[in-house]
Amino acid sequence: MEPRSHDFKKNAALAAADEQLRQALEKAQDGFVGKRARTIDQLPEFEGLRDQGKTIRDHVLANLDFYLERYEAAVLESGGQVHWAESPAEARDIVRDICRRAGARLVIKGKSMISEEIALNEALEGDGLEVVESDLGEYILQLAKEPPSHIIAPAVHKTRSQISELFYNAHSKLGYHKKLDTVPELVNEARQVLRSRYLEADVGITGANFLIAETGSNIIVTNEGNGDLSCTLPPVHIVTASIEKVVPTLDDVSALLRLLARSATGQEITSYTTFSTGPRRDGDPDGPQEYHVVLVDNGRTRMLDDDFRDMLRCIRCGACMNHCPVYGAIGGHSYGWVYPGPMGSVLTPNFLGLKEAGDLANACTLNGRCSAVCPMKIPLPDLLREHRRRQFEARLVTRKAGLALAGWGFLARRPRLYQPLTALGMRLLASLSRRKGRLRRLPLLGAWTDTRDLPAPQGETFQNAWRRRGGRPQ
């Protein structure tokens, strides 16, 4: 897989200049936003469901140790095994060890963001194993040697003709010599190529949308059915999941599934919702002989005690990125790591550190659309602001930005000084625009005016307007 650069500014500049990428993103975002809005319109209790979902997730996070132990006990009772991994390296070693003991040569995988987070494929391939992605989007990206650019639609940035080219190059040696034009043809060919791999695989690896404490089950939702085949056909099934995925009961999970499908793809329910509980039992017609769950912490316990705890409510629906104008302009690869968009901008600095990923929190207009659509009511803009605050405190901003922020902070705490100065600044900018209504270049604000004009201020300052209306909104 191509190594990713963490240089957000460079990535974003390249992506913004890629016309094909912009078209693919525009089309995808329009589709996601429209479908979500339509399906939510048809569910008057959606807001109530959001509150219920938030309450369930908050309750789990407040009692995470209890529910994880309960989940572990239920998995053991069903004949499965639970492995605890504090770090990505530990998680990789556990999975490698299971594969080694199974004498595995071929691994088939369902879509799993946590496996991206722990860089699992690279570790398994390093051991000489063949790893085949079975989710169509992930399979396309495996052929392209690219990471996912969206958490639910990993290949959203690829056009049909690019996929057709990839399939032609990869499948010609398997006897498929036709260049395909339509989506059904592409899906059908991928299905034919992948089908035998499920039967040949020694190990199936999937993620988990939820883990149910009361039954010890894991749930995956897909629209392709690839997850079911990955977890039932190979003799060994490994579930990789992060610790916060646990929910108390089947009733709780049904509420979360209603929110997830609507928020993610605008469906009332995804085509396949698969519950797996332990290995094959006597009399079962199919299922694996071994069932393992690898629970990954990777800093989440630390987040539980931090201001970022709310982020652990995330159910990975992708709605925040589907509604984000920044994601829509630059796509997921620009974010430089596994999780893109608003949720990624909060999560990535938590995993990699602000020094490595501090730009992400600043690549946000704080327009608030993400938190308005988030089914878990995660206050994403507040969390991004918290990253900015810590960045400033740790002196991780440039000297120029640090001085500007310190100056603004000084003034903002002194309204009697702030108000006349902003009024003066407004008049100055308006006169500099020389009636054009915009400014093409401004000293010290080159980063803004390099790529766009600054609209000249019009009317009065917000403070004046507020006072004139007696401190009331219009």
CA pair distance 295, 88, nearest whole angstrom: 10
Size of the site for ligand SF4 (CB under 6 A): 13
Instruction: Provide the sign of the torsion angle of the four alpha carbons 60, 65, 66, 67, taken in this order.
Output: positive
Query: Which stretch in 94-102, 167-175, 316-324, 416-424 sits in contact with ligand SF4 by CB under 6 A?
Result: 316-324
Query: Which stretch in 160-168, 241-249, 315-323, 427-435 sits in contact with ligand SF4 by CB under 6 A?
Result: 315-323
Place of tokens 């071929």: 106
Residue 109, Cα to own-chain centre: how many angstroms?
19
Regarding 314 and contact with ligand SF4 (CB under 6 A), the answer is yes
Out of 82, 155, 317, 326, the residue judged to bind ligand SF4 by CB under 6 A = 317
Query: Which stretch in 154-162, 359-367, 368-376, 432-440 sits in contact with ligand SF4 by CB under 6 A?
Result: 368-376
Residue 40, Cα to own-chain centre: how many angstroms?
21
Regarding 363 and contact with ligand SF4 (CB under 6 A), the answer is no
Nearer to ligand SF4, 129 or 257 (CB): 257
- In the DSSP assignment, the letter for residue 93 is H
Give kind and range of the element (H or E) at residue 47: helix 46-62
Q: Output the smallest distance, CB 122 to ligand SF4, in A.
A: 25
Nearer to ligand SF4, 238 or 376 (CB): 376
Burial class of 43 by CB neighbour count within 10 A (0 to 12, 13 to 18, 19+): middle
Q: Any residues with CB less than 8 A from the CB of 40 and at least 6 apart, and which?
A: 46, 262
Q: Which amino acid is at 268?
A: E
Looking at residues 234 to 263 of the shown chain, list those that interact with ligand SF4 (rule: CB under 6 A): 263
Per-residue binding string, ligand SF4, 412-451, x by CB under 6 A, is ----------------------------------------
CA pair distance 47, 385, nearest whole angstrom: 26
Query: Which stretch in 67-75, 373-381, 407-415, 437-445 sits in contact with ligand SF4 by CB under 6 A?
Result: 373-381
Burial class of 341 by CB neighbour count within 10 A (0 to 12, 13 to 18, 19+): buried
Give kind and range of the element (H or E) at residue 246: strand 246-247
Out of 22, 59, 316, 390, the residue judged to bind ligand SF4 by CB under 6 A = 316
Nearer to ligand SF4, 208 or 374 (CB): 374
Query: Which stretch in 110-118, 133-141, 370-378, 399-407 sits in contact with ligand SF4 by CB under 6 A?
Result: 370-378
Regarding 376 and contact with ligand SF4 (CB under 6 A), the answer is yes
Out of 136, 180, 320, 326, the residue judged to bind ligand SF4 by CB under 6 A = 320
Q: Output the smallest distance, CB 332 to ligand SF4, in A.
A: 12
Regarding 374 and contact with ligand SF4 (CB under 6 A), the answer is yes
Regarding 68 and contact with ligand SF4 (CB under 6 A), the answer is no
Nearer to ligand SF4, 136 or 374 (CB): 374
Nearer to ligand SF4, 102 or 220 (CB): 220
CB 157 within 8 Å of CB 328: no
CA pair distance 305, 335, nearest whole angstrom: 26
Q: Output the smallest distance, CB 371 to ligand SF4, in A.
A: 8
Out of 190, 246, 315, 326, the residue judged to bind ligand SF4 by CB under 6 A = 315
CB 154 within 8 Å of CB 138: yes
Where does 334-449 have alpha helices with state H? 341-352, 354-362, 369-373, 380-393, 399-412, 415-432, 446-449
Query: Which stretch in 81-89, 104-112, 231-239, 314-322 sits in contact with ligand SF4 by CB under 6 A?
Result: 314-322
Q: Output the smallest distance, CB 308 to ligand SF4, in A.
A: 12
Regarding 378 and contact with ligand SF4 (CB under 6 A), the answer is yes
Nearer to ligand SF4, 208 or 315 (CB): 315
Out of 375, 387, 433, 461, the residue judged to bind ligand SF4 by CB under 6 A = 375
Regarding 343 and contact with ligand SF4 (CB under 6 A), the answer is yes
Both tokens assigned to 239: 């579930």
Q: Among residues 153, 157, 159, 147, which one has the least CA distance to residue 183?
A: 159
Q: Output the smallest distance, CB 395 to ligand SF4, in A.
A: 29
Residue burial 142-166, b: 16+ Cβ < 10 Å; e: rest: bbbebbbbbbbbbbbbbeeeebbbb
Q: What is the dihedral of CA 445, 450, 455, 461, to 10 degrees?
A: -10
Out of 28, 219, 241, 319, the residue judged to bind ligand SF4 by CB under 6 A = 319
Both tokens assigned to 206: 């999937």
Task: Give the footprint of ligand SF4 on this chain (CB under 6 A).
Answer: 263, 314-320, 343, 374-376, 378
